[in-house]
Chains A and B, each alone.
Chain A
Amino acid sequence: DAGVIQSPRHEVTEMGQEVTLRCKPISGHNSLFWYRQTMMRGLELLIYFNNNVPIDDSGMPEDRFSAKMPNASFSTLKIQPSEPRDSAVYFCASRTGTSVYEQYFGPGTRLTVT
C-alpha cells in the first residue's frame, strides 16, 4: 500500500490567496484526520471525518478554514483567504474503524504564506 498520500508537499503562496491541500487516505480506512503542526502549538487536530462525515471540527481555527470529504478516497482542506499565521505543516492521517487504532500519517504539506 502506498500509505496516506498528500499533495502538494510544499506550497508557497501570498497572503490573501486561496490554498487547497489534498489527501488520499489508505484504502479501506474509514476515518480521516487533518492536523496542523507548528513550533509554537505542536500537533493540533483540526477536523475528523468518519465515513466521509465530519464528526468533530472544533479544532478548525476560523471560518477561513474548510474541509470536505466527497468520497472515501479523497479529502481537501481549504484556506481562504490565507494569512502568514497559517504557515505550518499540515498532516492528514487515516485509520480503520471508530475505536482507537493506529493513525497512519501522511508525509505532510509544508505551507508558507508570505
Chain B
Amino acid sequence: GENVEQHPSTLSVQEGDSAVIKCTYSDSASNYFPWYKQELGKGPQLIIDIRSNVGEKKDQRIAVTLNKTAKHFSLHITETQPEDSAVYFCAASGSGGYQKVTFGTGTKLQVIP
C-alpha cells in the first residue's frame, strides 16, 4: 500500500518568514495530493490540493509543488502569520472510484510573532 513520509515533524518560523514542509510517497499510481490544516481541537481542513498533471499550484500565500519522478511534493507558505500556526498534513491518493487517502504524520508549525 501507499506510504507517505512527512518532514519536519515540527517547524518554528518568525512571522513574515516562509515555511516549507516536504512529503514523499511510495506508490507511483498515486495522482492526487491534498494538504490539510488542523487547528487545536478541530478536525483537519483541506487548504490546497494538486493533481499529477500539474507541477505547481498556488493560492494566495500557499503553494504546492509536485515532482512525480522523484515522488515528492511540498507545501510552501510565504509571509507567515500567527494564524498559520497549526498542524499540517500531506496526503496521497489515487483518483477515480474509491481510493484510500493515506496521510503523512503531520508537521506542527509555530509562527513566532
Give A contacts to B, CB under 8 Å: 4, 42-43, 45, 48, 50, 55-56, 91, 93, 98-100, 102-103, 105-108
In the assembled complex, 28 residue pairs joining A and B whose CB atoms fall closer than 8 Å, in A order, are: A42-B103, A42-B104, A42-B105, A42-B106, A43-B89, A43-B106, A45-B101, A48-B100, A50-B98, A55-B98, A56-B98, A91-B44, A98-B97, A98-B98, A100-B32, A100-B94, A100-B96, A100-B99, A100-B101, A102-B34, A102-B46, A102-B49, A103-B101, A105-B44, A107-B41, A107-B42, A108-B41, A108-B43
Q: List A contacts of B26 (CB < 8 A).
A: none
Q: Mark B18-54, 1 if CB is under 8 A from A, else 0.
A: 0000000000000010101000011111100100000
B65 to chain A, nearest CB (A): 19
The yes or no answer to B93 lying at the interface (CB within 8 A) is yes
Give B contacts to A, CB under 8 Å: 32, 34, 36, 41-46, 49, 89, 93-101, 103-106
Q: List B contacts of A43 (CB < 8 A).
A: 44, 89, 103, 106
Q: List B contacts of A4 (CB < 8 A).
A: 43
Q: List A contacts of B97 (CB < 8 A).
A: 98-99
Alpha-carbon distance between A42 and B6 when the two chains are bound, in angstroms: 11
Look across to chain B and name the residue whose beta carbon is closest to the beta carbon of A48.
B98
Contact of B45 among A48, A100, A105 (CB under 8 A): A105
